[in-house]
Structures are given as structure tokens and as C-alpha cells.
Chain A
């Protein structure tokens, strides 16, 4: 009888422990949201929302400080767009190749390369960007300094490739074989079948991969910090720029007062961008179900 009581007590305790573990992720999201909101809003209130979001000048350390983050927002948007424009076509073409067209051996080799690329740490991408891409851009376009938005776009477009490729490939392989067979039976070539039948059928998955790429590009900090020049200018393709992520990282170590609070506000803006991207991803998934 006593043993039964003990084992019942153990069962109950474990149930509670697992429930607590279960809500750990929820707790994590809540804590992140609450802390960012609490730390990020005071500066916005003090500066004024419009002035903060649409101010064109960021001069946090000058005597007459100005906290406008439009340069960072636009740089992040342009940088991400640029990375998508370069990275997505290459990524999707490669996904089609390894998912549908290539002989198994070649497909496996390319797939392994993609996996290895996805494992390379972002600081290593930053280092290679600093030593190869930056001088290359400086030479080719005859600039005084190669650390600019264009270099950042090149590095980012390489960094988003692995997620674009692997997610697109999974989507392409999930398309039922019958679709292809029907198209082939009607006299289409293999290439026509893949591009006109399989790709359209997998378009929601391919779109998901693009959105994931956007998330990766907009959230990348270290690699961008090493190649973008890091001056708070309005974005110019060949100008030194600062992203939302690098704006937070570059001043954090020596900031204080309103400047520091404004950095938290920038992080809050970045967080809101990410939440929007998450919502888009969820709505694609919801639409499929």
C-alpha cells in the first residue's frame, strides 16, 4: 500500500516537472519579448516614434545627439533584398539540379557541399569577406574603400544559400511522382517537366525557403559587421553602411544613458521585423494545411 503511495507521488511530481519543461520555450519567448519591450520603449518615447523611425541622422555620440534609425532600417532592407536577388535564383537553380535533374552521385556531392557551407560559422564568412571580397570590390569598382553595402550583399547572399537550397529541395522532392509522369507522358522533356510542373507545384515550399533566407539575412550580425564598413550613412551601394544588427552590436560595449536605451529600441525594431517574418512563415504553413 505504501509503495503505491510513493509511486503515485513520483508520477505526480514527474508530471509537474515535464509540464514545467514543456512551457520553457513559451517562457523564453515571453521573457525576450517583455525585456525587449520594457527596455526598448523608453528611448522611443523620449525621442518620439516618428523621429526615431524616420529620422535620417544617427549621431549618438555628438554634443547635439540625434537618434534616427532610418539609415539602419533601409540598409537592412536593401541588404536583404540584394542578398535575395543574388542568392535566391542561384539557390533555387541548385535545388532543382540536386533535387530533380542531377545524377545521384553529383547530386550527393553538391548536397554535401551545401551542408558544409551551412556549417561554416558566420565569423569565418566575415573573415573571408574581409580579406577577399572587400579588396576585390575596391579594385574592381575603383573605390577608396571596399567595405560597403555591396560587399555585405555578396557575403549575405552566400550565407543564405544553404537554407534556400535545402528547404527548396525538400519541397521539390515532396511533389508527387504522378505529376511528372503525366507531363512526361504528354511529350514534355525532363527539363520542361521540372520547370513547368514540379516547380509550380512546390511553390509554397520554395517561397518558404525565400522567407527563411530573408530572416537569416536580416538577422546576421557578425559577418556584416566585418564587411559593411559600419558608418551610419543612408544606404548607398558603394557607401559604408550600418545594418540594424550591427548598429546594436557596434555601440553596445561603450554606450550609456539614452544612447544605450536607443540601442535596445533598435533591437526591438529588429525583433518586430523577425516576428513579422515568422508570421508570414506560419501563414504559408497554415495555408498548406
Chain B
């Protein structure tokens, strides 16, 4: 081997190791710094109270609750819609052109930036349907945003259900819906779960789409208030943004960042386990 080839090889190898090193260092650096700045400010009071101007204390319970409400309400809307859409694409649709159009629309939706979802969510849900700046308007906006994820994962999992199951069920005289309900859906459940987890991850990390739809309020809402139109509330991400950018309270922002990191890593782990199960089934 000539020297030039050896040197070329060496340089490329160094560059590759360097790039991989940069990625790992970035992750460790970001996590380490956030923990270092934030973890000291997390206390029981911080997690279990709302902010109070009188006592000059900060608590993020309203934001935690709002995030949970938004996740639940979004899933309630997006799951039936997304799973139904995947079932239609995989089981019912016969018109190839229509399927192509639906898939194109799904891809388009997944490419639209969240700030545009936020803006259109404001126009459609907050103003047109006059829900006001509210958790419910934010959730509906996020439901449209996470629709492609649920459709895609469910569809992938439906494709793994062997046709023999369907034929067997139909041959025994069951109707199509009965077949889907009792045979196809149970076998595709893990795909639905996987889509769910991925959606939750996206919802927890979302901020731009919520800023103008769900608002910035920091009050504790009961579950009955949360589903009502006009009750605004900021999620953890929006709260982080407000504390960091508008008020310059970086300690609070970093403490929220610690919680967000913890949540997203837990979701990442859950998604990995679900994906592993899905893969094992496929063989």
C-alpha cells in the first residue's frame, strides 16, 4: 500500500472518530451542564406548588398538570383518528390513487414546522371554533401534529399481521369489522403503543405550537376545568421558555430542563423497548 493511501485512510479515520466524539461530548456536556445548574433547585415545594408573587416562590405544579392534561387530551383525539386512518389505508382502501394522496398528505403534515401548527391552531381552534386560548385548543393542535406518527407506526404494525389471519377469520364467516376488531387490531397493538409513546415524546417537547394555542397561564386547573374552552395553561416547555426568555430566571429554567430531560429519556427508553418487541414479532 502506498503512503498516500495510508495517510488518506488515517485522515478519514481520525475525522470519523472525531465526529463521533463530538456527538458524545455534546450529549454528555448538555446533560451534565443542565444537571449541574438545575438539580439543586428541585425540591418538593418546587414540584408541588404554584408560583406565588406574595411569597416570592416558584412552583411548577400547574405546568406539570397542564403537560399531563395536554398529553391525555391529545391522545384521546389522535389515537382513534390515527389508528382508524391506518386501518382504512391497510384494510379498506381499494383506490390506489386515494391511498397515494392520503400518504402524501401524511408526509406533508410530518414536515410542517411546529410554529405553523401553532399559528393555524390559533386561527382554527382558538378563533374559528372560538375555544379561546385554552388547553383544549392546544391539544387539538397537537393532535393534528402527531397524526402522521400514529398513522405511520400503526400502519407498519398492521402490515406485519399475516394475511392468513384475515382469510381464516373471514372464511369462518366473520364480517370485516368483526375480523379487524378481534383479529387484526389485537395483533397490531404493539404498533399502536409504539405510536403512542412517540407521540407523547413529541408532545412533551413541543413548545412553539402551544405558545399561541394553550397560552401561558400558571394556575392549577382541575380536570373538569382543563377540558373547558377558555382555560389557558402553559406546559413545562412553554414555562421554561417564559422563565428563561421573558423573566431571566435561569435557575427555574434549568430545573424545568432537568425534569424535561428526565421525561424525554424515560420516553426514549419506553419507545426503544416497544420497538424491540415489535421487531421480535416480525422476526
Contact = CB atoms under 8 A, between A and B. Distances in A.
Given A21-B87, A249-B115, A282 B104 contact: yes
Contact of A249 (B16, B82, B177, B208): B208
A68 interface: no
Interface string B192-217: 00000000010011111001100000
Contacts of A175: none
Contacts of B187: none
By DSSP majority rule, is chain A's interface helix, strand, loop, or mixed? helix
B266 to A, nearest CB: 10
Given A189-B9, A274-B112, A278-B111, A123 B175 contact: no
A256 to B, nearest CB: 14
Contacts of A116: 27, 31, 264-265, 268
B254 interface: yes
Given A18-B87, A22-B84, A119-B267, A226 B241 contact: yes
Report the contact-size class of chain B (Cβ under 8 Å from the partner).
35 or more
A121 B264 contact: yes
Given A123-B207, A192-B9, A252 B85 contact: no
Contact of B111 (A36, A130, A226, A277): A277
B24 A25 contact: no
Contacts of A222: 207-208, 237, 241
A219 interface: yes
A109 B117 CA distance: 34
Interface string B111-123: 1111111111011
A8 B108 CA distance: 36
Interface in A69-118: 89-91, 93-94, 96-98, 101-102, 106, 109-110, 113-117
Interface of B: 1, 5, 8-9, 12-13, 15-20, 22-24, 26-27, 30-31, 33-34, 37, 80-85, 87-89, 91-93, 98, 101-102, 104-109, 111-120, 122-124, 144, 147-148, 151, 175-178, 180, 201, 204-208, 211-212, 237-238, 240-241, 244-245, 250, 253-254, 257, 260-261, 264-265, 267-268, 272
Interface of A: 7-8, 10-11, 14-15, 17-26, 28-29, 31-32, 35-36, 39, 89-91, 93-94, 96-98, 101-102, 106, 109-110, 113-117, 119-124, 126-128, 130-132, 158, 161, 165, 189, 191-192, 195, 215, 218-222, 225-226, 245, 248-249, 252-253, 264, 267, 270-271, 274-275, 277-278, 281-282
27 contacts: A14-B176, A14-B180, A15-B92, A15-B177, A25-B85, A25-B148, A32-B112, A32-B120, A36-B120, A90-B22, A93-B19, A93-B20, A98-B20, A119-B205, A120-B30, A120-B261, A121-B204, A123-B207, A126-B245, A127-B34, A127-B254, A215-B111, A226-B241, A249-B118, A267-B116, A267-B119, A275-B108
